[in-house]
Structure 1
Amino acid sequence: MRRIDANGTSIAFKQSGEGPPLLLIHGAEADHSMFDTFGVLLAAHFTVIAYDQRDSGGTTNPASAYGVAEMAKDAAELIAALGYRRAHVFGTSLGGVVAQVLAAHHPTRVDRLVLSSTFRPGAPPTALNPDVFARLATLRTGLPGTASEIATYFFPAEHIAAHPEVVEIFNGSKRNTAQRQRRAGILVQPLVYAPAAIAAPTLVLAAAEDRLIPPAHTLSLAREIAGARTVTVPGAGHVATLQKPDAVAHEVRTFLQARTGGSEHDHGGGGL
């Protein structure tokens, strides 16, 4: 892992590959490592940048509260700090919310945008799927004994049976109490967001078997973003980049390489 200062935060990140820059934004309970396999699949075609958000992985940040707007600013300033004028952006789950706000608030930093298994900024997932999130809240009080049931909300049963090791992901948070409290407050912070402000060509990816964020909600985002395309990944649960990295990488690569003009990823000296 490497580190760089951006927006008052010391951001830990992993960079690999060659080609146009592609920033990967992880989900709420994850860190950059959720993209380890997925990133390798894309590194033959892109400079893949997977970073840790605030209170995640190796990133260190102030102890003050923050919301999606501040996280989007982190991403925008990370792109600039690495020496790029703009980058392709892929965000999944909460990372997709950050990606939407990044594209709306900092449009000059985003080349093409991919939103995966995510939801509209300002629409808390607890309201989209209240029964599921209530059950998950209860299950988390019983960890680690309840990890196997928690896993079923993120991966289809068939995948868990074939890869029982994925249950270990849900054995308990690696964050301390203060970090968990700040992360829990992300979606309650004030946010101004207008999807019409997104100018980047956009692909919306839904996972057909997503039990956490209803696929229909994810796909509905495309109706709010001009010219957005949609793809549904068959058989995929919420964490499609871990369950079906090849399929997701194929869709991402196809979309990002369908260029109609010149490169838009100008940089001064190649970044770090």
Structure 2
Amino acid sequence: MPTTRVRISGGDALVDYDRTGTGPGLVLVHGTAATREQWLPLTEAVADRFTVVAPDYSGSGGTTDHGGPLTLADLADEVLAAADHAGLETFHLVGHSLGAAIATHLAGSHPARVSSLVLHAGWAHTDTRMRAEFTYWLDLLRADAEHGTSLFARMLPLMAFGPRYWDRTDTAAYEELVRALATGPAPGTDRQIAVDLAVDLRPLLASVTAPTLVLASAHDRAIDAAQQRELLAGIAHSRYQEIDAGHGAPVEDPDGFVARITAFLTEQPAAERPMADPAAAA
């Protein structure tokens, strides 16, 4: 897999990413505690039409860094570095959860680079209720580390899934999922949650010029409707859609999630500038 080096606030980061397909650039940014593998269904659906770049940012997957505190700007710089290294001059950009916050920061800081923007479960700023939620996540991770419990994994389905999941599952299936999740949180999840706690994109929203889809989940426990309204009010060329799922819509309703994003991307014109030769960017 390709790797690129980028300077972030605490030192250097070596960013791993996947590059798949051919066509205009499409960059995908995963959420807290996830990796670029979150995007495999969407990548498979669009790789015949887009050059898909899916990085791991610090704290996830194969990406390594200095091990200290991170900022939203750091993670946006890592995503942009992957796009640069892959030879993408302009690109469509999709983010989920913290990935949506990263994508918004990138689109507001480098508007000429972003052809269109999809924000699923994004938010404008971390308010008091969200701060309480994210602090609780950190408390669970610390308890798990100290006592060998699986509290964070047990919480994730409760936070992430809506009625679509709970109506078709039972206790045994839930417990099996908890066991699987307990082995999987990215080692740097606590560092990523610290970034969640500090999100404030309000100064950048007016700088986002790309056509934007604000994609909300109808049963999102983590991100409420007021945050979606703030994104819509702050981003000039934005529109709203909703999916009948919880915060974890990419897992709860993967087909519906992919369908909404691909429909939006299909409406967008191709990137204005051609892709560079990725070998020249290496």
- TM-score class normalised by the smaller sequence: 0.7 to 0.9
**Corresponding position: 1:225 with 2:235:** yes
Change (3 A) 1:224 1:128: farther
Question: d(CA) in 1 for partners of 2:110 and 2:152?
Answer: 40
Identify, as 1 or 2, the structure richer in helix: 2
One of 246, 257, 263 as aligned partner of 2:255: 246
**Corresponding position: 1:266 with 2:277:** no
- Residue type of the partner of 2:276? G
- How big is the shift at 1:74? 1.6
Change (3 A) 1:250 1:115: same
The alignment's TM-score, normalised by the length of structure 1, stands at 0.84
- Residue type of the partner of 1:155? F
Conserved 8 A contact 1:139-1:150: no
Query: Which secondary structure state, in structure 1, belongs to the residue aligned with residue 160 of structure 2?
Result: coil
Aligned to 2:57: 53
Change (3 A) 1:263 1:33: closer
Question: d(CA) in 2 for partners of 1:36 and 1:132?
Answer: 28
- How big is the shift at 1:230? 0.7
C-alpha offsets along residues 193-251 of structure 1, whole Å, 9 cap, x if unaligned? 321101111110000111111144224311110020110012x1111112222212221
Query: Which secondary structure state, in structure 1, belongs to the residue aligned with residue 69 of structure 2?
Result: coil
- How big is the shift at 1:66? 2.3
Question: d(CA) in 1 for partners of 2:30 and 2:180?
Answer: 14
Identity of aligned residues (%): 27
The alignment's TM-score, normalised by the length of structure 2, stands at 0.82
C-alpha offsets along residues 248-270 of structure 1, whole Å, 9 cap, x if unaligned? 222111212213x5532521225
Change (3 A) 1:18 1:158: same
Change (3 A) 1:220 1:33: same
- Residue type of the partner of 1:269? D
Alpha-carbon RMSD across the aligned residues, in angstroms, is 2.8
Total equivalences in the alignment? 265
Question: d(CA) in 2 for partners of 1:214 and 1:18?
Answer: 36
Unpaired segments of 5 or more residues in structure 2? none
Question: d(CA) in 1 for partners of 2:163 and 2:270?
Answer: 44
- How big is the shift at 1:15? 2.1
Change (3 A) 1:169 1:231: farther
Conserved 8 A contact 1:204-1:219: no
- How big is the shift at 1:36? 2.1
